[in-house]
Amino acid sequence: MEQSENFRYEAERFDEYRIMRFQVPGFDQLPLRQKELLYYLYEAALAGRDILWDQNYKHNLFIRRTFEAIIDNYRGNRNTEDFKKFMDYVKQVWFSNGIHHHNSTEKIIPGFSEDYFKELILDSHDFLKREKKQTLSFPLRDNQNMGALLRKAASIIFKPERDAKRVNLDASVDMVKHSANNFYENVTQKDVEEYYEKITDKNESNPVSYGLNSKIIKEDGHVKEKIWKAEGMYSEAIKKIIFWIEKALNVTETEQQKLSLEKLIEFYKTGNLKTFDEYSILWVKDIISQIDIVNGFIEVYGDPLGKKGTFESVVSVRDEEATQRALLISRNAQWFEDHAPIQDEYKKSKVKGVTAKVINVVVESGDCSPTTPIGINLPNADWIREKHGSKSVTLGNIMHAYEQVSKDSGAIEEFAYSEEEIKLSKTYGELASILHTDLHEILGHGSGQVKRGIADPSETLKNYASTLEEARADLFALYYIYDEKLLELGLIPTLDVGKAEYNGYIRSGLMVQLVRINVGKNIEEAHMRNRQLIAQWVYEKGKTDHVIEKKMKDGKTFFVVNNHEKLKMLFAELLKEIQRIKSEGDYEAGKNLVETYGVKIDLGIHCEVLERWKRLNIPKYSGFLNPKLIPIKENEKIVDVIIEYPSDFTEQMMEYAKNYSFLPTYN
């Protein structure tokens, strides 16, 4: 990948976080028409950013705008320890798109006092009244005074017990009532399940993803949906998205791309989920366009019931050279499906439309920003994957940025047992990571099928569906990354690439990923549950043969893979079982796997990992600033679009506050 040698990938650090930057190689050389298209899609992406904030928690926009008014107007001393603590807290809230931690989903607690918060608000408000400048103002409602605003804000952020967790996956409680997200109001889990049971047609061959774009409420004793659409909930932001996508229609690259964007506009106007399915099919078929966009209500990880799609957008340009690797995998998708270690009846007899590419991200928004995936496979509807295929993308410039900042961090040396293991990782680790992502997204998510007559996994596996699906895709990738087929295809120079990935996966699943969890807490996030589930299961099942061995050296714990061949067979065994669980909708078996292996953490190992990580001085969490696209106009006509790479997190968040705050503070 062509990159500037002197580009600074790390922008800043605060608390346990790192803010990074990424480049868009080749942007300046793009034709004007493509630059203009990217600019319109860039604006459409950022136009929806407020939606995720409100989805995550109904008071998030109120709190965020209170903070932004303080930052814009406070004239007191900004060099004190208290103000630094305030800004650290605000940055954590920006990073998480709300007051609940992006990973644990637990409420973020301020490090400053309520009295200091009052001082900040009153000083800022005094400046606003005195100067009457065009700055960001406080989110006061009609007839509300600053005292009422202060009391409301303080009660939200300073009471740990109030709305303590955004997503509660504990199946022993009412997950709807005990989750602070804004997908449900005045309803119980039973209300929601009964509502969808009533409106779902189980005989549909093309099942609709009911609930993907709505909030469920109960009014006057009746359960109903508030649809997210142009003339419904979130209309102010959705209309802006439509405005920019309509501009993009004039500069699309292909007729197929234009058709898909027109259908996306129709979906946003109507809120009809069948229209969204039609859009998804058109989008999958657009394999020629170099520029692409994900924009909509996509992932369901933020909903304990796995129904509500959070807003996200990714605008990208295909990396033509790197895409050849992904295409080679997708062209052989049928071979991989046929030889997968799963039951024949759950294999796809004909893999359709698995297209793959490597992209360079131009901008991300919503649930992809500031934290971002490194691979995406869409659409999520299983029936569309089966009948029409899917698009799988690897985010090439994002992975490159991660690789650049991780060099010489010392993490490999700290958690790898031997010099041989360290050498394998340094030699093949980057290639192994890229290939794992490709195999996970291209083959894993696109593989297998649900048994005829069995409902969608979101219905059958409920709160465990996301974790089990990620485990299934990971296991597919793990099984094949240590396979002669990759040598035959020329994708790897040696099976040592697979060994490097096996070693790293076990290190991460059993130890390294625990740095992101506070002591005494369970694992909540689906991808992290998946990794521990797999690593713990194969460790336990392989104990008799010492497939993975727990070793001590210099008072430190290590997990060492002794037999990579046997480990591959254990991955195959677990993959077969998880595919069966998904295909048959076996809720109890899925629950047992996740709860037994993916949730609880060994306290001794956890404390040790945290102590070892602390000495390395590596942030636990990384997120990204977006590039900035600036149109150059002559007589109101765009004659060029230039790209800049901001380096200040606060500046970008405040710019977004001023230019992309379209939703009112509903509550």
Q: What is the pLDDT of residue 665?
A: 86
Q: Are strands 222-227 and 214-219 parallel, antiparallel or unpaired?
A: antiparallel
**Of the candidates 333, 448, 324, 321, the residue with the CA atom closest to the CA atom of residue 382:** 448
Residues in the chain: 667
> Which positions of the chain have pLDDT values less than 70?
1-5, 132-134, 666-667
Q: What is the pLDDT of residue 3?
A: 59
Tokens, residue 487: 């040598």
Q: What is the pLDDT of residue 667?
A: 57
- How far is Cα 237 from Cα 571, in angstroms, rounded to an integer? 45
Q: What is the pLDDT of residue 35?
A: 98
512 to each of 217, 532, 618, 667, how far by Cα in Å? Answer: 41, 10, 12, 40
Q: What is the pLDDT of residue 234?
A: 98
Q: What is the pLDDT of residue 599?
A: 97
Per DSSP, the three-state class of 628 is strand
pLDDT for 77-87, tens place per residue? 999 999 999 99
3-state SS of 558-608 is EEEECCHHHHHHHHHHHHHHHHHHHHHCCHHHHHHHHHHHHHCCCHHHHHH
Q: What is the pLDDT of residue 202?
A: 77
CA 123 to chain centre: 37
Q: What is the pLDDT of residue 610?
A: 96
- How far is Cα 175 from Cα 304, in angstroms, rounded to an integer? 6
Q: In the chain, where are the structural domains located? A: 49-163+633-659, 319-623
Torsion over CA: 531, 623, 392, 330 (sign): negative
Q: What is the pLDDT of residue 86?
A: 98
Q: How far apart are the first and last CA of the chain?
A: 46
Q: What is the pTM of this model?
A: 0.90
- How far is Cα 35 from Cα 632, in angstroms, rounded to an integer? 11
pLDDT for 152-169, tens place per residue? 999 999 999 999 999 999
